[in-house]
Structure 1
Amino acid sequence: MANSYDVQAEALRILEDCLLADQRLALPPNVREACKKVKFFGDSKPFIPTPCKITESCAALSALVGGLASAVASARYGIELQNIDIDTDKATLFIMSVMLPTVEGTSFLQCKEIRAALSEADIYNMDKPIHRQCTNVYKTKDDRWYHLHGSMNAGPTMRMLGVAEQDVTTEVAQKIYTEEVAKWDSTEIEKTANEQFLQAGTVCNTVEEFFASPHGKIMSEEPLYTSTPIKAPQMKWPSSEPGHKSLAGIKVLDFSRVIAAPVASKLLAVLGADVLKLSYTGNPEIDILMVDMSTGKRDANVNMKTEAGKAAFRSLVKDADIVIDGFRPGALEKLGFSSAALREINPSLIYMRENCYGFKGPLADRSGWQQISDCVVGISWLQGKFLGLDEPVVPLLPNSDYQTGLIGAAAAIQALLARTKSAVTFDIDFTLTQFNIWYYRLGQYDAEQSAALIARNPGFSVRHYDEMTSLLAKSYKGLQVSRPGLIEREDFYVHMSGKEWGVGDMKVLKPPFDLEVSELEWSVPSGIRGRSKPEWL
């Protein structure tokens, strides 16, 4: 790789030029001052085999969250702006932290007690090959690549294709879907999936196709996140105990699943917020995500489709500072809780929405996932071409999910700070597609840098048919080659009790930023769904 390229210098450029200097984000002067105390360090060269600046962007966004947290701590406690350390290696691991929890030194995936508890959330048995391979990239009749998606219940997509329930291997399942998707025109299957069967799915666009599309033209004009001010009573910071925790006493109601929105609330939790996640045991979850995503949060079993569940939600909203909504666009509103309705309950509430496509444009109402946004915007084609393939490959890690979570956390902290300065609150939109557009515009590695990055990952090979579970496994294995010992670094992890899972000592990855003074702590250990009462502490 060209000796002149430096990961830390590029992360600083992104922080200064692509975040702090973006006037549309309206970051206040004290946050820009706080970010002057950021220090980036770590491996000076990239090591994840991807064309986009995955380490640099995550490090920059982590620095922004740290800067905002420092500004809040200074305002709350009268302390000086503190040093913020960003280890770019740890920031890179953050993007795959879902894979990293351990139980007494062994991967949580090998823990029988945890796997048994997780299986209860996999209501539709998505680990079964015929279900798992329903979410993958296949070629259509008109020679386009299409990302089929089975969500957390493959049944509707299987019915659309006429695929029967059956016990087959992964290879046979892929062959079945390859044959069935090949019978469809790409436009027809995308329309049928999204409009008739209400299932996510998209043609894999090139970047050029996306920006030329009606949706791309609209979303390309949007900032990284959108904060709409709404008049509301000015708020004071809650009283708090020692530790200078930036968000101590802040109450966050997490109504979301999967990764992006839950990452935002997990980051708010490590800064001291009381995060209560609302789940329902009648709804499925992606089981392997739950250990990481439940860290720092209490979890209450609430069925929002019942009057009792709605009453519990209203009671919680009354005293909440933030509601994070990560379900299909309009789902919460259909239950009677629009932004306006929420403000009737709590005028100062910060209401945050996260989705795939964005909240403007012709595709705004579609359901979606990280892989869908990656394919819509064209990031998957960039990944495939980078690897020397004439096919799209979904980016190797849940990158846009985790980095969108960082964006949500930053927007939330900024809004909390603004509420204490004037009579205002906010509606906040943060989306996978807004991130992917910004991410692409940061630029990609040049030919020399790309060649060096490929050389740093000898033997690494993925194809269009590697879905996220396979991509994670291969990326994990690849890191042990390109960066031996990195995943095992003891100083990157924090210990916590495994009692909520019925196990012993657990370790999870620390947050991707370190603050010199303010304590960073997940005071609530990871645990099963429904273990908490639907009430604030």
Structure 2
Amino acid sequence: MRALDELLAIRGLDVPATDEIEIVGSDPILATPFKISETCASVLASVGVAVTDIWEMKTGRRQRVSIDVNRAAAALKSAKYLEQASGAGGFQPVVNAAREATAKMTEPWPTKDGKHFLPHFGLPHLADRVLGVLGCEASADGVRQAVAKWDALDLEAAIDEARGCGAMVRSNADWLAEPHGRVLQSKPLVEIEKIGDSGPEPFANDGRPLDGVRVLDLTRILAGPIAARTLAEHGADVLMVGADGLPQVPEYVVDTSHGKRSCFLDLKSPEGRDGLKKLVSEADVFSQGYRPGVLADHGFAPEDLAELRPGLIYLSISCFGSDGPFSHRAGWEQIGQAVTGICHEGSAEGPKRLPAAACDYTTGYLGAYGVLLALERRAREGGSYHVRVSLCQSGMFIYRQGKLDGVPADADVDPNVIQQTRIESKGDAGQFRHLGPVLELSETRPHWIRPTPALGADKPMWL
């Protein structure tokens, strides 16, 4: 697979033996011409190789890595399969009516100048900003009519100025001709930059691959939480750091928080910032998904934290990346699809969103992959590292894998695969049935040692 070759090249080590990696199955699985399931499977296989590199450092042995493309497809829409225990003794799907209503508004709508524009309404405060620009009611028909009154680029600029979220739908060729597209095209899919010197830090001799690795997760809503959840699958101690009352999507919190703990810190207060710095001083990984520059204003820039904790791995996850004219903009899954050409070629009839959050999940797994590679480098040669991934880079990566013809409109994951992949867990957040880890390793089975926590249920301290 071309995707796997590109990913393993980032690793910078000898190519694994041909019988070490097994990817079973192929697209189409979901109703899209893009090879999103195969691409996700390649990223997950690369995660497995990186875990195996660490395992070899600990034990001298390598592992076999296996991933089923059908299960990778399911992982791209795992929140859809989340079920909560019902009073009748069974389980029922978790339904968020408010999110489903906003999803109907988050579509590529025609504009006055013959193009399409995709506004985003993911959280209430962002929705209010976009609706304020459009001057319409919160309904699909109201948004459609309002967007039709604008030229696409004028609307994009107005929503950007209002600090909302939305983008003109571009072809891939147009995106790569844009100044921002050119900036991203000049960078690797996963950026790993050494930002400080420190001595080597070998992995613990015993236990799972990431036993003893401490991860601070300051992210929310898909890509960032997926990155940290993936590290938890391999033994890392992951502590989520949020704030009481921070807007969230409840089903996403449940589905992406397996294996983690959760605490609250108010970073607007000196006490909260001091508390976070104390945690950082004893951490191995710091993962954040704020717009570029936001955390730096609070004293949490990569270089600041690398000075506080030499050897820290700092993961930054964003929509548009850290450089270029759009780097300050907010962005979600659908924006990554809209600007990179995926939405533009979503169907023969016209622009269409993917049937899964492929940019988000792929970015999350890429973030975990970058962290694993940086941890391995730290163990060999020391140093602090800044890892960067973005939704737009992931969209460009998916687009590079090409498309398929004749995909059935009702294509979807086999229900039997879902049933075989589901597990049950019970904790402070409730009792749920959900997808388990989909990656398979021959010696260290990926799993979570604790269920999803209730937000803020833990103290801001390491175990």
User: Normalised by the size of structure 1, how large is the TM-score?
Assistant: 0.81
Map of 2:429 onto structure 1 = 501
User: Which aligned pairs between 1:133-152 and structure 2 lie closer than 5 A?
Assistant: 133-152=104-123
Map of 1:91 onto structure 2 = 72
1:108 Cα deviation (Å)? 4.4
Map of 1:101 onto structure 2 = 82
Alignment match of 2:417 (pick from 486, 501, 504) = 486
1:106 Cα deviation (Å)? 2.1
Alignment match of 1:219 (pick from 184, 205, 220) = 184
**2-structure distance, mates of 1:444, 1:512:** 24
Cα 1:76–1:50 change in 2 (3 A) is same
8 Å contact from structure 1 (residues 350, 428) kept in 2: yes
Cα 1:228–1:509 change in 2 (3 A) is same
**2-structure distance, mates of 1:240, 1:273:** 14
Alignment match of 1:41 (pick from 20, 24, 49) = 24
Map of 2:13 onto structure 1 = 28
Q: Which amino acid aligns with 2:20?
A: K
**1-structure distance, mates of 2:20, 2:62:** 8
1:240 Cα deviation (Å)? 6.2
8 Å contact from structure 2 (residues 195, 303) kept in 1: no
The 3-state SS of whatever aligns with 2:287 is strand
Cα 1:493–1:216 change in 2 (3 A) is same
Map of 2:366 onto structure 1 = 407
Alignment match of 1:438 (pick from 397, 400, 403) = 397
Map of 1:18 onto structure 2 = 6
Q: Which amino acid aligns with 2:152?
A: S
1:74 Cα deviation (Å)? 1.3
Deviations 1:149-206 (A, max 9, x none): 22412212222222357xxxxxxx21111121222221211111102x1011110001
The number of aligned residues is 457
Map of 2:253 onto structure 1 = 290
1:271 Cα deviation (Å)? 0.4
**2-structure distance, mates of 1:295, 1:247:** 16
User: Which aligned pairs between 1:135-534 and structure 2 lie closer than 5 A?
Assistant: 135-153=106-124, 154-164=127-137, 173-195=139-161, 197-239=162-204, 242=207, 245-384=208-347, 388-389=348-349, 391-445=350-404, 450-451=405-406, 453-454=407-408, 457=409, 460=410, 479=412, 483-489=414-420, 492-496=421-425, 498-503=426-431, 506-534=432-460
1:236 Cα deviation (Å)? 2.5
The 3-state SS of whatever aligns with 2:192 is strand
1:35 Cα deviation (Å)? 7.0
8 Å contact from structure 1 (residues 134, 158) kept in 2: no
8 Å contact from structure 1 (residues 342, 349) kept in 2: yes
Map of 1:61 onto structure 2 = 43
8 Å contact from structure 1 (residues 133, 177) kept in 2: no
1:353 Cα deviation (Å)? 0.5
Percentage of pairs with the same residue: 29
Return 423-432 or 154-163, whichever deviates more: 154-163
**1-structure distance, mates of 2:415, 2:221:** 29
Map of 1:170 onto structure 2 = none
Q: Which amino acid aligns with 1:499?
A: G
Q: Which amino acid aligns with 1:230?
A: I
8 Å contact from structure 2 (residues 285, 313) kept in 1: yes
**2-structure distance, mates of 1:231, 1:332:** 19
8 Å contact from structure 2 (residues 27, 38) kept in 1: no
1:41 Cα deviation (Å)? 2.2
Return 154-163 or 408-417, whichever deviates more: 154-163
8 Å contact from structure 1 (residues 400, 435) kept in 2: yes
1:241 Cα deviation (Å)? 5.1
Where does structure 2 lack aligned partners over 5 or more consecutive residues?
Answer: none
Cα 1:239–1:109 change in 2 (3 A) is same
8 Å contact from structure 1 (residues 34, 67) kept in 2: no
**2-structure distance, mates of 1:138, 1:108:** 30
Measured on the aligned residues, the alpha-carbon RMSD in Å equals 2.1
User: Normalised by the size of structure 2, how large is the TM-score?
Assistant: 0.93
The 3-state SS of whatever aligns with 2:193 is strand
1:405 Cα deviation (Å)? 0.9
The 3-state SS of whatever aligns with 2:389 is strand
**1-structure distance, mates of 2:169, 2:68:** 34
Deviations 1:354-399 (A, max 9, x none): 1001222211111111100110011001112xxx21x211111001
Q: Which amino acid aligns with 2:144?
A: T
**2-structure distance, mates of 1:87, 1:187:** 41
The 3-state SS of whatever aligns with 1:275 is strand
Q: Which amino acid aligns with 2:448?
A: W
1:417 Cα deviation (Å)? 0.5
Cα 1:398–1:35 change in 2 (3 A) is farther
**1-structure distance, mates of 2:180, 2:46:** 28
8 Å contact from structure 1 (residues 270, 511) kept in 2: yes
Cα 1:374–1:315 change in 2 (3 A) is same
Q: Which amino acid aligns with 1:434?
A: Q
Cα 1:272–1:484 change in 2 (3 A) is closer
Map of 1:71 onto structure 2 = 53
